Amino acid sequence: MERPDKNSHGSRYLLECFRRRIHEIVSNRTEKLKTRTKEDTMDKKHILSSLNQFTHHHFGCMLSQATEQQAYRALCFYIKDILVQRNRQFAEDSKNKGRKQVYYMSMEFLIGTSLRNNLFNLGLEQTIGEIFDELGMDLQAVYTLEPDAGLGNGGLGRLAACYMDAMTG
Protein backbone atom coordinates (compact mmCIF):
# COMPACT_ATOMS: atom_id res chain seq x y z
CA MET A 1 0.00 0.00 0.00
CA GLU A 2 1.33 3.40 -0.97
CA ARG A 3 1.91 6.06 1.69
CA PRO A 4 -0.13 9.24 1.28
CA ASP A 5 1.78 12.37 0.33
CA LYS A 6 2.05 14.43 3.52
CA ASN A 7 2.22 17.68 1.58
CA SER A 8 -1.15 17.22 -0.09
CA HIS A 9 -4.26 18.09 1.91
CA GLY A 10 -2.98 18.02 5.51
CA SER A 11 -6.19 16.76 7.09
CA ARG A 12 -6.51 13.97 4.52
CA TYR A 13 -2.97 12.88 5.30
CA LEU A 14 -3.69 12.77 9.04
CA LEU A 15 -6.95 10.90 8.50
CA GLU A 16 -5.23 8.35 6.27
CA CYS A 17 -2.42 7.87 8.81
CA PHE A 18 -4.97 7.41 11.60
CA ARG A 19 -6.96 4.93 9.49
CA ARG A 20 -3.82 2.91 8.72
CA ARG A 21 -2.79 2.86 12.39
CA ILE A 22 -6.23 1.62 13.46
CA HIS A 23 -6.07 -1.10 10.79
CA GLU A 24 -2.61 -2.10 12.02
CA ILE A 25 -3.81 -2.29 15.64
CA VAL A 26 -6.84 -4.39 14.75
CA SER A 27 -4.70 -6.73 12.62
CA ASN A 28 -2.16 -7.17 15.43
CA ARG A 29 -4.91 -7.82 17.98
CA THR A 30 -6.50 -10.42 15.68
CA GLU A 31 -3.15 -12.17 15.22
CA LYS A 32 -2.58 -12.25 18.98
CA LEU A 33 -5.99 -13.85 19.50
CA LYS A 34 -5.24 -16.48 16.84
CA THR A 35 -1.89 -17.42 18.42
CA ARG A 36 -3.12 -17.52 22.01
CA THR A 37 -2.08 -20.73 23.75
CA LYS A 38 -3.47 -22.77 26.63
CA GLU A 39 -0.72 -21.27 28.80
CA ASP A 40 -2.07 -17.76 28.18
CA THR A 41 -5.64 -18.61 29.11
CA MET A 42 -4.83 -21.12 31.89
CA ASP A 43 -6.89 -24.18 32.61
CA LYS A 44 -10.08 -24.49 34.64
CA LYS A 45 -8.38 -26.34 37.48
CA HIS A 46 -5.84 -23.55 38.04
CA ILE A 47 -8.49 -20.82 37.77
CA LEU A 48 -10.84 -22.57 40.20
CA SER A 49 -7.96 -23.09 42.64
CA SER A 50 -7.05 -19.39 42.45
CA LEU A 51 -10.67 -18.27 42.90
CA ASN A 52 -11.07 -20.61 45.88
CA GLN A 53 -7.86 -19.20 47.36
CA PHE A 54 -9.17 -15.63 47.02
CA THR A 55 -12.59 -16.43 48.51
CA HIS A 56 -11.03 -18.41 51.35
CA HIS A 57 -8.48 -15.70 52.14
CA HIS A 58 -10.90 -12.74 51.94
CA PHE A 59 -14.22 -14.27 52.99
CA GLY A 60 -13.41 -17.51 54.82
CA CYS A 61 -15.35 -19.77 52.44
CA MET A 62 -14.94 -21.66 49.19
CA LEU A 63 -16.23 -20.23 45.90
CA SER A 64 -19.08 -22.76 45.84
CA GLN A 65 -20.35 -21.34 49.18
CA ALA A 66 -19.75 -17.68 48.33
CA THR A 67 -22.47 -15.12 47.70
CA GLU A 68 -22.67 -13.45 44.29
CA GLN A 69 -21.00 -10.35 45.75
CA GLN A 70 -18.15 -12.43 47.18
CA ALA A 71 -17.76 -14.30 43.87
CA TYR A 72 -17.67 -10.96 42.04
CA ARG A 73 -14.95 -9.61 44.35
CA ALA A 74 -12.88 -12.82 44.12
CA LEU A 75 -13.13 -12.73 40.33
CA CYS A 76 -12.03 -9.08 40.33
CA PHE A 77 -9.01 -9.88 42.54
CA TYR A 78 -8.07 -12.75 40.23
CA ILE A 79 -8.37 -10.65 37.05
CA LYS A 80 -6.51 -7.74 38.68
CA ASP A 81 -3.57 -10.02 39.50
CA ILE A 82 -3.34 -11.22 35.90
CA LEU A 83 -3.57 -7.67 34.52
CA VAL A 84 -0.95 -6.33 36.96
CA GLN A 85 1.43 -9.14 36.05
CA ARG A 86 0.96 -8.54 32.32
CA ASN A 87 1.28 -4.78 32.78
CA ARG A 88 4.59 -5.19 34.60
CA GLN A 89 5.87 -7.49 31.86
CA PHE A 90 4.72 -5.05 29.15
CA ALA A 91 6.34 -2.08 30.91
CA GLU A 92 9.60 -3.99 31.28
CA ASP A 93 9.55 -5.08 27.62
CA SER A 94 8.74 -1.53 26.49
CA LYS A 95 11.58 -0.08 28.54
CA ASN A 96 14.04 -2.66 27.22
CA LYS A 97 13.01 -1.95 23.63
CA GLY A 98 13.11 1.84 24.10
CA ARG A 99 9.47 2.38 23.17
CA LYS A 100 7.79 5.72 23.70
CA GLN A 101 4.65 6.28 25.77
CA VAL A 102 1.56 8.22 24.80
CA TYR A 103 -0.29 10.21 27.45
CA TYR A 104 -3.88 11.31 26.89
CA MET A 105 -5.78 13.60 29.23
CA SER A 106 -9.52 14.13 29.00
CA MET A 107 -12.02 15.78 31.31
CA GLU A 108 -14.53 13.12 30.33
CA PHE A 109 -13.81 9.44 29.99
CA LEU A 110 -16.77 7.07 29.88
CA ILE A 111 -15.38 3.60 30.38
CA GLY A 112 -18.43 1.80 31.77
CA THR A 113 -17.98 -1.65 33.27
CA SER A 114 -14.78 -3.56 32.61
CA LEU A 115 -15.05 -7.07 34.13
CA ARG A 116 -16.66 -8.70 31.08
CA ASN A 117 -14.34 -6.81 28.72
CA ASN A 118 -11.26 -7.91 30.68
CA LEU A 119 -12.40 -11.54 30.75
CA PHE A 120 -12.99 -11.44 26.99
CA ASN A 121 -9.63 -9.80 26.24
CA LEU A 122 -7.81 -12.35 28.42
CA GLY A 123 -9.64 -15.19 26.66
CA LEU A 124 -11.19 -16.34 29.94
CA GLU A 125 -14.89 -15.49 29.53
CA GLN A 126 -15.96 -18.96 28.38
CA THR A 127 -13.79 -20.79 30.93
CA ILE A 128 -15.02 -18.65 33.84
CA GLY A 129 -18.60 -19.12 32.60
CA GLU A 130 -18.14 -22.90 32.64
CA ILE A 131 -16.67 -22.81 36.15
CA PHE A 132 -19.57 -20.72 37.43
CA ASP A 133 -22.09 -23.02 35.68
CA GLU A 134 -20.52 -26.09 37.30
CA LEU A 135 -20.84 -24.41 40.70
CA GLY A 136 -24.48 -23.45 40.03
CA MET A 137 -23.66 -19.74 39.90
CA ASP A 138 -24.82 -17.23 37.29
CA LEU A 139 -21.96 -15.27 35.73
CA GLN A 140 -24.45 -12.83 34.15
CA ALA A 141 -25.75 -11.98 37.63
CA VAL A 142 -22.17 -11.41 38.79
CA TYR A 143 -21.62 -9.01 35.87
CA THR A 144 -24.58 -6.91 37.02
CA LEU A 145 -22.91 -6.30 40.39
CA GLU A 146 -20.18 -4.18 38.82
CA PRO A 147 -20.88 -0.45 39.15
CA ASP A 148 -20.21 1.93 36.26
CA ALA A 149 -16.91 3.75 36.62
CA GLY A 150 -17.76 7.34 37.49
CA LEU A 151 -15.34 8.90 35.06
CA GLY A 152 -17.54 11.15 32.94
CA ASN A 153 -20.43 11.00 30.56
CA GLY A 154 -21.67 12.30 27.26
CA GLY A 155 -20.37 12.20 23.72
CA LEU A 156 -16.84 13.33 24.52
CA GLY A 157 -16.49 10.55 27.06
CA ARG A 158 -17.43 7.97 24.44
CA LEU A 159 -14.95 9.49 21.99
CA ALA A 160 -12.20 9.43 24.63
CA ALA A 161 -13.01 5.78 25.38
CA CYS A 162 -12.72 4.97 21.65
CA TYR A 163 -9.35 6.74 21.45
CA MET A 164 -8.06 4.92 24.52
CA ASP A 165 -9.23 1.55 23.17
CA ALA A 166 -7.62 2.23 19.79
CA MET A 167 -4.30 3.15 21.42
CA THR A 168 -4.12 -0.01 23.56
CA GLY A 169 -3.30 -2.51 20.86
**pTM of this structure:** 0.63
pLDDT over 90 percentage in the chain:
43
Name, in order, each residue with C-beta under 8 angstroms of 58's C-beta and a sequence gap of 6 or more. Answer: 70, 73, 74, 77
Which pLDDT score, from 0 to 100, does residue 145 have? 92
- Tell me: the pLDDT tens digits for 41-73? 478 999 999 999 999 999 999 999 999 999 999
Q: What is the pLDDT of residues 99-121, one digit of tens each?
A: 887 777 665 555 667 899 899 98
